[in-house]
Amino acid sequence: MNVTELARKLKIPSRELLEILPAVGFDIGRRAIKIDNRQAQRIIESWSSLLAQYRAKLNPAAAEELKVEAAAEKKPITLPALIRVRDFAQKLGLPLSKVIAALMKNGVLSAMNEMIDFDTASIIGTELGFEIVADTTQAAETEKATAGKLETLLNQDKEKNLVPRPPVVVVMGHVDHGKTKLLDSIRKTNVVASESGGITQHIGAYQVERNGKPITFIDTPGHEAFSTMRSRGARVADIAILVIAADDSIQPQTKESIKIIHSAGLPMIVAINKIDKPEANQDKVKQDLAALDLLPEEWGGKTICVPISAKAGTGIDELLEMILLVAQTTKTELVANPDRLAVGTVIESHVDRGQGPLATLLIQNGTLRVGDLVMVADNFYGKIRAMKDFSGQDLTVANPSTPARVLGLKAAPSVGDIFEVTAEVDRKSKVTKYKLQEQATGYTQLVEINKEDAKKGIQSLNLVLRADVLGSLEAIISSLNQLSNQDVPVNIIAKGLGNITENDVMRAMSGNAVVFGFHVKVTPEAELVAKEQKVEVKSYDIIYQLLDDVKVRLESLLVPEVIRTDFGRLKVLAIFRKEKNAMVIGGKVTKGVARSGVKAEVLRNKAKISAGDIIQLQLNKISVAEVNEGSECGLKYEGKPVVEVDDILEFYTEEIKKKKLVA
């Protein structure tokens, strides 16, 4: 970039810019004409702080006055409950690197596409000199209203009708730290083997007994893509178990789980797993917990830590005893009225090809029975025809804190929805015909292809998505939204539950899309049509493999970055010979150096005429690699023979660099 152009963008005289830059760490020289594009971009992004830094060196009092004026001009920044780090930086009008540095300073390690909550954003924003206010829009109010409705439904019973209920325990932690293996050990089953790659892909709800007392467990996926599902798991729980591997200590999802547990106000038990491994270090885990203000009980704090080995079964009895002990200390809250109509939360939901919509419900108050009429979001969703427990056994009644898979709903409710049983149904309140058809087929048309992007030459990755359950579909879409950016957007043109069908392939063909399936099969008809129409269909069992594939495809669509390096200029003094596609020229180097083996632009009256390659360079009839400023030389120029006396040759090289998606 020309220095004059940079000065124009910054609205400052070129001479003044050349004085300021060396003083703030950009030593480009007082007579520089051009500046590297990457350096120029850094200067533009941080210009206000660079200017303040320069003024502070000249006059500290004036710099302080400038800060006060800038702070007075800042308006309050409105933020939602959750915001992506990149969007947060844009709202503040600050460089992304500065915001990430401020987060790191406060112990939050978040990449540009990761979500942070309002409390974190408020602390960071205030520290950076901004006034942060919460979003009070209708969407935010609706979220609060939903949470408030559940509280009202759970707390409307008279105290005399309440009896103790089993505790609901959510198991959280980083991927591969042994959450599912812990439940596997507790239930004496082998759930891990059935999960792809040993990673939990769905929320599961299970119930066990200890000393005749039932305990309900909710297993939440640990992979980063399932943060939404983990949050939902915490919302319905009474106690949280945070699983930390003794050989790996605290990791990113561990910190995120701690945030969710704190925001949900749950009592927490830390299960230090894999203590039987040679590299296990329990003290390291406790030190890392203490650094996060979670001081273990044995060190004088309040954080309960139980050492276990889920694989060997060590410490499991002690962990169950501790759960019951914690439940007893909060027993005033662990009560329900089994005689009322059931109310609770949808834990999982999907459309089965043979049985239709299925949902796993956690009963949080009342008793659910076969034949009950179920309402979700003030809409009638159907009559329960059958219920099964977590082991597949038939149920006729499900008491408080019991997870039950129900059959008979007319549509698949969303994961996290609140359900309630009603005595009678107003037929006008039924789910709309469109909603029923959409969810019975498990298919939704989402967007039309953005024709404006196509006109601008922006390439996009168009997808048709199919997943087995709603929770996984939502998690995949959330992760794809994080990968998508303005240079190469991800367009999900359609989504659905169930196997990949012929219709999916036809929609992908019309939308120039790829069909992605997660834990689903491709019907024979769909395979045949895909081959005939040359539509790509991909199936995955592990979510990060799907996301890695998408990332590779997006990077292949990114336009490569061309990095130009200028060396110098030569004024043409003589034309010695013209050939069909070459010329032999004599001239004087007026700036920098002339080089052999590089490219050259032909400038006439400051306008570009042509471009070619410098094949050979001679000084005093001796071939050389470069000629310095002020010397005369001869050269062979390969390209259109259009060069004339008094033209300027500008020497440069170009490096094509493939772009990568920023994590």
Q: Annotated binding residues, as ranges?
A: 173-180, 219-223, 273-276
Q: For 536-570, give one letter per residue: b (16+ CB within 10 A) or e.
A: ebbbbebbbebbeebeeebeeeeeeeeeeebbbbb
What are 220's two structure tokens?
């939440």
CB 85 within 8 A of CB 113: yes
Residue 352 — φ and ψ, nearest 5°? -90, 135
Residue 525, CA distances (Å) to 73, 505, 532 in order: 63, 10, 11
Helix axes 179-187, 316-329, angle to 10 degrees: 90
What is the C-alpha separation between 619 and 169, in angstroms, rounded? 82
Q: Rounded to whole angstroms, how far apart are CA atoms 273 and 244?
A: 6
Measured CA to CA in angstroms, residue 553 lies from 292, 454, 514, 548 at distances of 38, 18, 11, 9
Strands 461-467 and 490-497: what pairing? Answer: parallel
CB 622 within 8 A of CB 568: no
| 258 touches 229 (CB < 8 A) | no
Name the nearest CA neighbour of 88 among 123, 62, 112, 55: 112
**Per-residue exposure over 402-421, b if at least 16 CB sit within 10 Å of its own CB, e if not:** bbbbbbbbbbbbebbbbbbb
Rounded to 5 degrees, what angle do the CA atoms 347, 349, 354 make?
145
- Both tokens of 353, joined, read 């090809």
Residue ranges of the binding site for GTP: 173-180, 219-223, 273-276
Query: Is the Cβ–Cβ distance between 515 and 505 less than 8 Å?
Result: yes
Q: What is the CA radius of gyration of the chain?
A: 33
3-state per-residue secondary structure call for 412-461: CCCCCCEEEEECCCCHHHECCHHHHHHHHHCEEECCCCCHHHHHCCCCCE
Q: Are 343 and 325 in contact (CB under 8 A)?
A: no
Mapping DSSP to helix (H, G, I), strand (E, B) and coil, where does residue 652 land? strand
Q: Are the CB atoms for 549 and 456 separated by under 8 Å?
A: no
Q: HSE (CB half, 13 Å, CA atoms) of 143?
A: 10
512: left (phi over 0), alpha (psi -120 to 50) or beta: left
Measure the CA dihedral 78/84/90/91, to 10°: 0
